[in-house]
Structure 1
Amino acid sequence: MATESNATLALRGLCIAPFFDVSNFPDEGYIEGRLCQELAPGLTCCLPCPITDWVYPDNFNTLSDAASWISVVGTAACLFLLLSYAFLPVEKTNRHYLSISIVCAVFFMNFGFIIPLAAQPDQCVNEITPHGMKSSTVCAASATALLFGGFAGVMWVFMRAVSLHLQICWQQNVGRLFMIFAHASGWLIPFLVVTLALVFSGVSFRFGATCHINHANSLADFWIPILLFAGLTMLIQFATFGYCVKVYLASLADNSASTEGSAPTYTQSVRTMSPRHAYRRVRRVIALQWRGIAIVLIIVCDVIFFSVVFVFLDNTVEQVKNTPELSTDWVQCLAIAIAKGGGKDDCLKEGSDLVVSQGTVVAVLFLLAINGLFLLFLLGRWSMVTGWIDLLRSPFSKGNNEFVSVDARYDVKNSQSSYEMLSKDANEVVTSLPPVHLTSTTPTSPRAGTKTPDFYGQTARYEVPSRSFSSPRPPTSPTRNLGGWDASTTYARPVGQGNGTFYEAEEGRFQFQHRAGDDRNPLGMNRI
């Protein structure tokens, strides 16, 4: 302990605790990340690294780790959605390339919090210098994932807002050309912007265990582009909402009776559509796209909040470095507290004027980490769960045994139509028996030898079945009713009375039976 204490005192030099003399440290790590102040010619004292340990309470790191663990849950939610999109049928997921791309973007952004949580890297190279992307691969990987995922998320919600605007306001059905344009812009632009940011600005450990972009040139190569697309997204979304409100108000003023229950015809132009028809069309589109609208608003608000807070935090730190007078009260308070055996907690009030409040920074971290859960609640469906249950229960099942009509697959070679049933598993065709044609050898045309079918001139021979105990019987005495049908021998329901009775011969048909001994004309029974 004495040796360590002597080494610490040697590193401090002429600086009072807790500061260190910059001349005792080599030029390694991210040099610009040091927070130093020149107290005298040749004497520059620097605040120990990391800076957040001195300007925020001790629970700041705990809250930052909690946000990282929420990112783990959000990443699991995104992974569930992506696997469902990949392996489940479309009727279970309603997948779309806009939704899949947004989930992928948030998946990358969450990795920016998971990588340092798993690696647990050292934030500092030495007592005063933080790690940068050149000295720490974990820093480079986490910052790249965070920046690329955040920018890609903004681009894809921008594409979704444009798609919705074209469908609602301009009645344009986006197709394959828009899909190609969306993929080219949604992935290529973030790749170019993040590459420029890494080259001209770089990343380092600045706020918590996740690396963020440095101050140099960051406003031009990252913050302005991401805020530009986020602002355009909000403008397009508000323009779409304004059009919906206009259509709704116009539908309220539309009292035309012709549009109450009718729908626009196929040949009717959309521009000449009545206000009520336009409102029904807009309401139908919003009912189908409300999840996408909610995702656009949530992600854009998160990114704008994140960008504004970190730009303000970055500028505050730079003002402290460029204007040391701003931190004079805090430095004096900290030196006095350490000399008296106290700590940083005695000077948090003086240090709060130099940084963004802890609540604001923690809120940004939690909002960025919880986006995966938002996507699960908005894009997830209960049918995905049932689809996975069905897939895990019978991954190799061929489905139920069903009978389908062969008429659905018309065979051109077989011109004779027949009623057939085909088993789904076995190719067994059940057909009707071929018709029997009775022919006669009597020529009926001038040409000799011509045989024509005789369907009425011959009587078919009755063959008694082998296990039949009945035989054909001759008809009984002729009946008096019309058509040879005796109503008294059946269970037909009598319908009327009078000189005769109507009996229900068949379904929907009635037959009149004349009563014996009555000579009245049955056709005149309804005369007045």
Structure 2
Amino acid sequence: MSENDLRGACPPPYYQEDLFDNGGFVGGRFCQNTPTAGNASCCLPCPQASWLYGEEIQDKIKIASWVSVAVLPLCVFLLVSYAVLPAKRTHRHYLSICFTLGIGLMQIAFIIPLGTKPDQCYNEITPNDMYSSLSCAFTGSILLFGGWVVVVFSFIRTIAFHLQVCWEVILGPKFMWGALICGLGIPIIGTSIMLVLTGVSFRFGDTCHINIEKSLQDYWIPLISFAGASLIMQFTTMGYCVHVYIKSLYDPAPTTNSSNLQSYTASVGTLTARQAYRRVRKIFKLQWRSNCVVLVILANVIIFAIIFIRADKQLKVTPENLENATPWLLCLGLYPGDRTKCFDYAKDVGPSEATLLALLFLLTLVGFWNFLLFARPSMFVGWLDLFRRKETAQFEFVSADARKMREDAHSYEMLSSNGLPSYKSPEPFAKPYVRSPSPAYTARTLSPDLNNHYGRDARYVRPSMSFSGPRPPSASQNQGRDWDPEATFARAYPYSSR
């Protein structure tokens, strides 16, 4: 059928709804019964965002996708650093790894449409959804699942921080496995329920977003609940930190910074305010980055939820919304070729263009804030050490014997751990080098003559935790202890060095 045939009794630019089949996302149509068209249901052309904000809105939305292209390598850098570099360089933690994975999924959801270039519309009045477009199914599912992961792990991180600071709980393997199960299990269950009951479709841009029907019950309310609980717990923990700090200012008890070890008679209940403040400050110093990221994420989630809920309420086809949109729809009928003249009437229909673009850019910049706070300078130092280690690996040696192969080691003398030298003969036909005996064996077998031969005496090394030392024999000890070597089988003189 031609375009004029599809319009039926509806004036341009509208199309008559009963002339189309039920393919695509029928719930995404914006239709109204028109008395002037014989009470026929006339529908606004797809995509609706172009009629609300102009044709340029599609190009502006693509800028957010290119921002994701620039931000995704930052997330990949963090994940590769966590996997390759040692923990002392990255300070990796399973909560940070899962948190970064969730952000990376959200970035991928905006990048996929740049390659697939999906068609937003199934026909002239119907947008595509996850059943009619494979790209829509992937982008919508990944975006919403990533949002779930980020919010749930933000909640788990606030719980961990609260338990460590306020209750002095040491988080062990049980908490780790519980966090991983809940942090991944809840998003999987929540995303599955949302896709079955609500689904995703093209609403604005080439990335699919959640539909309006039942989205408040199965997505936004659970998400806001986790975000709200996280904020309450975060502020409660921060309030406790402020309380401990103020209390430590008025604590007259003497403290010391010479040792972090408490007395064996002390207990957690007998900690002074200054000691509690030092403990809280140490924990906060280790986790301030993650706390800042959590606050940024939760603030963004609440803003997204408020804007999306408000937009769903305005765009849902109800008698009240149709009445508010009547001036705009009539304007489009009067000026079908110039929709710019009707933008002033479209302000009451949906969110403004500036609000919509700001929402998308905030969503794509989450990965940048994550990199800015989690990328430590020690990571870059670790990568430099890794590359330098590969370059110098061929010059490394594993024992002291390998040094004799170097050109600068013509003749040298090595000292063993007990202070005795071991020689390497400089003559070319000398006997093979023999490793010096162990310190324990040397202390038992070497005679004083051998020590004198090398010009140094064997010294007594006092153990670090010993309170004794060599003492000369006293006169009382020598009384009655004279003996005649000839009366025994002992030698009268020490062993000779021959």
TM bucket (normalised to shorter chain) is 0.7 to 0.9
The match for 1:86 is: 83
How much has 1:302 moved relative to structure 2?
Answer: 1.1
Structure number with greater Rg is: 1
Q: In 2, distance between residues paired with 1:304 and 1:453? A: 95
- Contact 2:44–2:125 at 8 Å: present in 1 too? yes
Alignment correspondent of 1:242: 239
The equivalent residue for 1:276 is 274
How big is each residue's C-alpha offset from its partner over 1:46-68, in whole Å with a ceiling of 9 and x where there is no partner? 00001100111343222211111
1:435 matched to 2:474? no
* 1:354 and 2:395 are equivalent in the alignment: no
Q: Which of 1 and 2 has higher RCO (CA within 8 Å, sep 6+)? A: 2
Q: Is the 8 A contact 2:102 2:150 kept in 1?
A: yes
How far apart, CA to CA, are the structure 2 residues paired with 1:302 and 1:428? 70
> Which residue is 2:494 aligned to?
455
Question: Which residue in 2 is equivalent to 1:444?
Answer: 485
Indicate the residue corresponding to 2:28 in structure 1: 33
- Return closer, same or farther for 1:421/1:53 CA change in 2, 3 Å cut-off: farther
Given the superposition, is the C-alpha separation of residues 92 and 34 from structure 1 closer, same or farther in structure 2, using an over 3 Å criterion?
same
| TM-aligned CA deviation for residue 297 of structure 1 | 0.3
Whether the aligned pair in 2 keeps the contact of 1:420 and 1:431 (CA below 8 Å) is no
CA-CA distance at 1:387 after TM superposition: 2.4
Give the letter for the 1:377 counterpart: L
Aligned to 1:204: 201
2:198–2:212 CA contact under 8 A, matched in 1: yes
Instruction: Kindly state the Cα deviation for residue 260 of structure 1 after the two structures are TM-superposed.
Output: 6.1
Which position in structure 1 is the counterpart of 2:469? none
Is the aligned partner of 1:51 residue 2:48?
A: yes
* 1:445–1:206 CA distance, 2 compared to 1 (3 A): farther
The aligned amino acid for 2:32 is: Q
**Cα distance, 1:399 vs structure 2:** 8.1
Relative to the length of structure 1, the TM-score reads 0.76
Superposed displacement of residue 42, structure 1:
5.4
Checking the alignment, whether the CA contact within 8 Å between 1:248 and 1:279 is kept in structure 2 is yes
Which aligned pairs between 1:79-478 and structure 2 lie closer than 5 A?
A: 79-256=76-253, 258-259=254-255, 261=257, 265-267=262-264, 268-319=266-317, 323-338=321-336, 342-395=337-390, 397=393, 400-401=396-397, 429-431=435-437, 435-436=446-447, 444=485, 446=487, 450-452=489-491, 454-455=493-494
- Runs (5+) with no aligned partner, structure 2: 401-416, 423-432, 450-482
Instruction: Find the aligned partners of 2:397 and 2:376 in 1 and give their Cα distance.
Output: 28
Distance 1:298 1:403 in 2: 52
Gaps of 5+ in 1: 1-5, 405-416, 462-528
Give 1:9 deviation, angstroms: 1.2
Higher mean alpha-carbon deviation, 186-195 vs 106-115, is at 106-115
- The 8 Å contact of residues 264 and 277 in structure 1, kept in 2 or not, is answered as no
3-state DSSP class of the match of 1:271?
Answer: helix
Give the whole-Å Cα distance in 1 for the aligned partners of 2:381 and 2:237.
35
Structure 2 residue 72 is matched with structure 1 residue 75: yes
Report the secondary structure of 1:206's partner residue.
Answer: coil
**Identity score, percent:** 39
- In structure 2, C-alpha distance between the alignment counterparts of 1:153 and 1:200, rounded to whole Å: 22
Does the 8 Å CA contact 2:158/2:230 hold for their aligned counterparts? yes
Q: 1:238 to 1:453 in 2, by over 3 A?
A: farther
Match for residue 24 of structure 1 among 4, 19, 22: 19
For residues 151 and 302 of structure 1, the distance between their equivalents in structure 2, rounded to whole angstroms, comes to 13
What is the rounded CA distance, in whole Å, between the counterparts of 1:43 and 1:319 in structure 2? 16
Q: Between Structure 1 and Structure 2, which shows a larger proportion of helix residues?
A: 2
Alpha-carbon contact 1:156-1:186 (below 8 Å) kept: yes
The residue identity in structure 2 corresponding to 1:374 is W
Instruction: Using the TM superposition, give the Cα deviation of residue 389 of structure 1 relative to its aligned residue in structure 2, in angstroms.
Output: 3.1
- Tell me how far 1:392 sits from its aligned partner: 3.6
Query: Which amino acid in structure 2 is aligned with residue 329 of structure 1?
Result: P
Structure 2: how far apart are the matches of 1:96 and 1:78? 15
Q: Give the residue type in structure 2 aligned to 1:288.
A: L
Task: Name the CA shift for 1:302/1:453 in 2 (closer, same or farther; >3 Å).
Answer: farther
Taking a change above 3 Å as real, the CA distance of residues 344 and 428 of structure 1, as seen in their structure-2 partners, is farther
Residues 100, 266 of structure 1: alpha-carbon distance in 2 compared, 3 angstrom cutoff: farther
What CA distance in whole angstroms lies between the structure 1 residues aligned with 2:123 and 2:319? 19
Determine the C-alpha separation between the residues in 1 that align with 2:124 and 2:6: 9
TM-score, scaled relative to structure 2: 0.80
Instruction: Give, in angstroms, the shift of residue 173 of structure 1.
Output: 1.3
Separation in structure 2 between the aligned mates of residue 39 and residue 395 of structure 1, nearest angstrom: 75
Give the superposition deviation at 1:259.
Answer: 2.6
CA contact (8 A) 1:35 1:321 kept: no
Q: Deviations over 1:344-387 (max 9, x none)?
A: 11111100111011111111111110111111111112222232
CA contact (8 A) 2:30 2:43 kept: yes
| Distance apart, 1:139 and its partner CA | 0.2
Residue in 2 that maps onto 1:483 = none
